[in-house]
Amino acid sequence: MNNMLNYIPDDMNEVETKLYWMKAHGYPDITAQEVLEKGILDGTQYMLDEALDDSYWTALWKENDQQILVRGALGEEVGIITPREKHTTFSEDFKESAPFTWENIAQQIAKFVGGN
């Protein structure tokens, strides 16, 4: 890939690929953990945008790597997304099973979108 800056990794292999790319392109101090956490947040934002057909809601860390706050267009709290049961962090969850992590996030987004 020519530019991986905005690329959202789907699994740990892709996290490592993006990490190496970023280190080679001006981000020498970035860590795999930072790439992973940003990827999870960016992936969540992408899913929100797709579910709502635009960027009406915003995903941001409420508690870094533990809770994602979904904020509405007027700044109100729409909901909180959490890792799967038995996981204290999204990164731990993602390392164990990235597909299940994304599925969990998608299911929680569907509940928020369905209720609005």
Q: Global pTM?
A: 0.92
State both tokens at 51.
């579910």
Convert the pLDDT of each residue in 38-66 to its tens digit: 999 999 999 999 999 888 999 999 999 99
pLDDT > 90 fraction of the chain, expressed in percent and rounded = 88
Q: What per-residue confidence (pLDDT) applies to 33?
A: 98
Question: What is the C-alpha to C-alpha distance for residues 102 and 47, in angstroms, rounded to an integer?
Answer: 9
State both tokens at 24.
């080679």
Helix residue ranges, H only, 1-116: 12-24, 32-52, 90-96, 98-114
Convert the pLDDT of each residue in 59-106 to its tens digit: 999 999 999 999 999 999 999 999 999 999 999 999 999 999 999 999
